Structure 1
Amino acid sequence: MHDLIPLAAILSLFVGLPWLIFHYVTQWRKSGSLSIQDENLLDELHDLARRLDDRLATIERIVAADNPAFRRPETERLADDAQDDHVFDRIAERRRQR
């Protein structure tokens, strides 16, 4: 009986531990990227956010036309007011080109 304890310890170290590590590494690699459904959902959400952003910009232009004193603070400017492209726009464009 006492001879089985060292044998079990050695087996668990040299068989069980590497198996456990390789199992979780494989699971991590499989789930390391987004699924096609998740990518499509992100694309839809991105398009919806762009449309909402455009609507808000339109409302702000209407309010600014009606009230000349209205002006957005610099910190609240929308992303499309910036001159450079947004990272997500470039990613979405690459996906559309595929």
Structure 2
Amino acid sequence: MTFSEILFVPIVLFLVIVAPIWLILHYATRNSANRRLNSKDEALMEELHESARKMEERIHTLERILDADSPNWRNRT
């Protein structure tokens, strides 16, 4: 038996069993680490949430003004 024949079975076993499991576990742990928000992302999310809340208040105020000035404005197309 030659050296390549001796290494054939362990190499095939490694490629069929060990390598796929290794890759799956590697990318699973890598993706779970990337899913968490860092402090900059959390601050940005909080800022966006506050901006959305202010915009919602403004929209409600504008709708109240329009309701008072022109009650049928919602029915117009």
Q: Settle same-fold status: TM greater than 0.5.
A: yes
* Structure having the higher Rg: 2
1:47-66 → structure 2 map (5 Å cutoff): 47-66=50-69
Structure 2: gaps of 5 or more residues: none
Partner of 2:41: 38
> Separation in 2 of the partners of 1:59 and 1:25?
48
Percent of aligned positions that are identical = 36
Partner of 2:28: 25
Over the residues paired in the alignment, what is the CA RMSD in angstroms? Answer: 2.2
Partner of 1:2: 5
Give the helix-richer structure, 1 or 2. 2
Q: 1:20 to 1:69 in 2, by over 3 A?
A: closer
Q: Number of residue pairs matched?
A: 72
TM normalised by structure 2 equals 0.69
Q: Which 4+ runs in 1 deviate beyond 6 A?
A: none
